[in-house]
Amino acid sequence: MLDLSRKLTDTLVLGDDVYPMNISFNKVLKAMELINDDEIDELFKPYLAIQIFTDVDFTETLTPEQATVIFKMIFEEHIRIISAKDSEPVLDLAGNPIKSKIRSRSQSEDGERLFSLKYDAEYIYSSFMQAYGIDLIDAQNSLHWKKFNALLNGLPSDTKFVEVLKIRSYKPHRDDSKKYKESMKQLQKEYALPKDFDY
């Protein structure tokens, strides 16, 4: 969660050594891709993931168990993906729950994921350009993961990404015409995610 009262300073402290980390959105996506890559030996994944964020090779200084613990700590403290099932709602100043357009639509009623950061990359890219004038390719290594998520959650309803989420989450209503239902069914096929996707 983004905390506006604090600067986004990400460091890894190991004993007396402090390593600055770059937790930009593209590095997080690269780490997710790495973790889900079946061709990379499980033993090396935590080392490679830590190196993505620190640019430091820890293979000689950390045991595999230590590397795994450190990567999990980095993920929990600096990255943690917020899911629709998270128990604590975000509250406004009056203490009322805030419903995020993206977070509330991240899963369908039957628990299916409605978007993929990998497969919906074009929709996300075009939506950021439309809504914020941000070129996500140019913003690589500089746009922090938490800022990226805040902007993703705040995308307006007229952006392509949010439109695709509406299509995927559509459930037929009694008042909908047969033509509209057929049209939405066709669009759901067109915008369907692959059956097995990682992130």
Residue-number span of the structural domain to which 36 is assigned: 11-79
Counted domains in the chain: 2
Residues 62 and 108 both lie in one domain: no
Residues 64 and 125 both lie in one domain: no
CB 84 within 8 Å of CB 96: no
Q: What is the structure's pLDDT at 81?
A: 60
Per-residue pLDDT, averaged over 80-95, amounts to: 46
Residues 185 and 111 both lie in one domain: yes
From the centroid of its chain, how far is CA 154?
13
Residues 30 and 105 both lie in one domain: no
Residues 56 and 105 both lie in one domain: no
Q: What is the structure's pLDDT at 157?
A: 94
The reply to whether 140 falls in a domain is: yes
Q: What is the structure's pLDDT at 92?
A: 43
Q: What is the structure's pLDDT at 7?
A: 81
Alpha carbons 191 and 194: distance in angstroms, whole number: 10
Percent of the chain with pLDDT strictly greater than 70: 83
Q: What is the structure's pLDDT at 109?
A: 55
β-bridge pairing 11-14 and 17-20: antiparallel
Is the model's pLDDT at 197 over the cut of 50? Answer: yes
Angle at 46 between CA 41 and CA 48, to 5 degrees: 80
CA dihedral 163, 168, 174, 175 (to 10 degrees): 10
- Name the pLDDT band for 4 (thresholds 50, 70, 90): confident
**Interacting residues of 90 by C-beta distance below 8 A, sequence separation 6+:** 1, 97, 98, 100
Residues 149 and 181 both lie in one domain: yes
The reply to whether 116 falls in a domain is: yes
Q: What is the structure's pLDDT at 2?
A: 73
Q: What is the structure's pLDDT at 110?
A: 56
The reply to whether 163 falls in a domain is: yes
Percent of the chain with pLDDT strictly greater than 90: 71
Of 48, 79, 110, the position where a domain reaches its end is: 79
Look up the pTM and report it: 0.80
Residues 48 and 125 both lie in one domain: no
The reply to whether 178 falls in a domain is: yes
Q: What is the structure's pLDDT at 82?
A: 47
The reply to whether 86 falls in a domain is: no
Per-residue pLDDT, averaged over 183-189, amounts to: 95
Residues 179 and 106 both lie in one domain: yes
Is the model's pLDDT at 147 over the cut of 70? Answer: yes
- Name the pLDDT band for 54 (thresholds 50, 70, 90): very high
The reply to whether 168 falls in a domain is: yes
Alpha carbons 32 and 39: distance in angstroms, whole number: 14
Residues 114 and 144 both lie in one domain: yes
Residues 186 and 115 both lie in one domain: yes
The dihedral sign for the CA sequence 38, 40, 46, 51: negative
